[in-house]
Amino acid sequence: MSHHTAVSSAAAATSAILVRAMACADSSCHFHATTLRRRPVQKDDVRFKILFCGVCHSDLHAAANHTPLLGGTGYPCVPGHELVGVVTEVGTSVQNFKAGDRVGVGTMVDSCRDCDKCADGRENECVRRVGTYNSPAKGWEEGRHVFQDGTSMSSPLSTSGATTCEPGTSSSQHLISQPRSIGGYSTEMVVQENCCIAIPDAIPLEYAGPILCAGITMYEPLKKHLLKPLGLCEEGSGGGGESASLGASGRSGFLAERLSGTPSSSPASLKVGIVGIGGLGVMGVQLSSRGLGLETVAITRGLSKKQLAEENGAKGCIDSTDPSSLAEHEGSFDIILDTVSVDHDIVALRKLLKKSYDFGAGAEKKFTPKLVLLGACRQTFGAFVASTMLGVKDVCVSVTGSLGNTREVVQLCAAHDIRLPIELRPVSDLTQIYEALDGGNAAAKRYVLDVAGSLPLASADRASNIKDVETIEKAPKLTPLQPPGYFGVVKAALQIAGYWPFGMSAT
């Protein structure tokens, strides 16, 4: 699908940019169209027209305020961290982008850029990281009026300058006490160059957004907890890193060859497990099997998604409800990525991991296989406590990834034609989309909003053939979610660490 985009090159603007956006005023997730301000283009900014934005399950969690332990949601909330489009303007200091370039923004739009983690390319771990939406704006405490994440101190505005709010409520209910970033359910984005991701021509734009979220979510732990510890990211690692048992040493490095699409031998002894075959799981299977060439096995409740998993590259499927199936694969995985976002028993999954083993030319190094939890559930919060405070080594948590690794996973997807199955929908379908995600998304679809085709620009020259959206007729009917309380998290952490005296089932 193509959209007409006006492309121009200009110096930094001096006035705020009005954008149309789909916002919700409270945890009902009842979306309505409104007009908001993004900051003027600064010297190192990239401005682009948003064509598509993927809808992530975490959008639902944020909009419905399901994660109060993480700070809760500020309203009005404009979700969306899988936004892609075409550059319309760049600042005077921008070096790597120009008008007409295909770009995207993932889960973050800024960090402090001063701490050790930022200096080491781990901006996603910065304590002052600014998320693409619902994140307190960097610069508030310094009293600045324009912020790195694209928001300003202004309340939501209509095109006439009046404060807007959901019909039937007073404008005072929508004043923002502290600015929060606004996401990709909107018509335009302004972002610093270093947080802007180039999209190769090999990837159709409508398929690119999910790579910036699901892609990096699955790639980051594969690289951090598997490839890097085994030396497979290094020059000369070839098909097996430093261990003769993992393959012979090569010239340009295993990961470099996979990123370039160059045929390379794969470390055949490595085995990857993917728990849950939804949108994240399908992406994980494709990245691990097609992208990295590793043996990849799906782990699901029942075998209803066995065919889907195998169509996307899995070598088989383990039924997690079948003790004999689990026993057959016990002690055989080097890493397991668990995407399940509801409370579940992880004890059986840990038994599938290999024991720690020595590797390297002289077997002088030790590798510890890991179960990596990615879903928003009590076990994930507990695993974070257990791994950071209680010394647990084989269970950990991963949320998203660095900007450098985001660029790598985009490159990997382009090189190996990796893409999630998507369903393109207008912004007026947000209620139905949220209900589908809340219901478990059995079809493992990734819903993508056709922003440019269904949400008009705020400017007077907006396309006349796009009918403006007002309030979506009804809010989605969502299953009430009880966020994990502090006791539940502590209990899960103690269970994972083996300190809970009343049984080991971490559910």
Domain-located, residue 52: yes
Please check whether residue 43 lies inside any domain of the structure.
yes
Predicted confidence at residue 342, as pLDDT, reads 74
* Domain count of the fold of the chain: 2
Work out the angle at residue 102's Cα, subtended by the Cα atoms of residues 99 and 108, and round it to the nearest 5 degrees. Answer: 105
Query: Of 382 and 507, which is predicted with more confidence?
Result: 382
Question: Strand 271-275 vs strand 365-367: parallel, antiparallel, or unpaired?
Answer: unpaired
Mean pLDDT to the nearest integer, 97-123: 94
Assess whether 185 and 293 both reside in one domain.
no
Q: How confident is the model at residue 396 (pLDDT cuts 50, 70, 90)?
A: confident
Q: Cβ atoms within 10 A of the Cβ of 340, count?
A: 24
CB neighbours of 205 closer than 8 A, spacing ≥ 6? Answer: 51, 52, 84, 85, 102, 199
At 25, which CATH number?
A: 3.90.180.10
In this prediction, residues 11-40 reach a mean pLDDT of: 84
Check residue 8 and give its pLDDT. Answer: 44
The parent domain of residue 188 ranges over 17-212+420-454
**Range with the poorest average pLDDT among 126-135, 239-248, 308-317, 341-350:** 239-248
Co-location of 92 and 149 in the same domain = yes
pLDDT given for residue 268 in this prediction: 66
Query: 243: pLDDT confidence band, cut at 50, 70 and 90?
Result: very low
pLDDT for the residue 458: 67
| pLDDT at res. 213 | 96
Tell me whether residue 407 is in a domain. no
pTM (predicted TM-score): 0.83
* Residue 469 or residue 149, greater confidence: 469
Q: What is the DSSP string of 241-282?
A: TT-GGG----SS-HHHHHHHT------TT-EEEEE--SHHHH
Q: Among residues 283, 113, 89, 82, which one has the least CA distance to residue 199? A: 82
Q: Which residues pair with 271 in a beta bridge?
A: 295
pLDDT value, residue 490 = 59
Evaluate if residue 53 carries a pLDDT over 50. Answer: yes
Q: How would residue 475 be classed by pLDDT, with cut points 50, 70 and 90?
A: confident
pLDDT at 200 over 50: yes
424 and 359, same structural domain? no
Asked if pLDDT for residue 248 goes beyond 90, the answer is: no
Q: What is the CATH number of the domain that holds 358?
A: 3.40.50.720
Confidence at 474, pLDDT banded by 50, 70, 90:
confident
In a domain, residue 307? The reply is yes
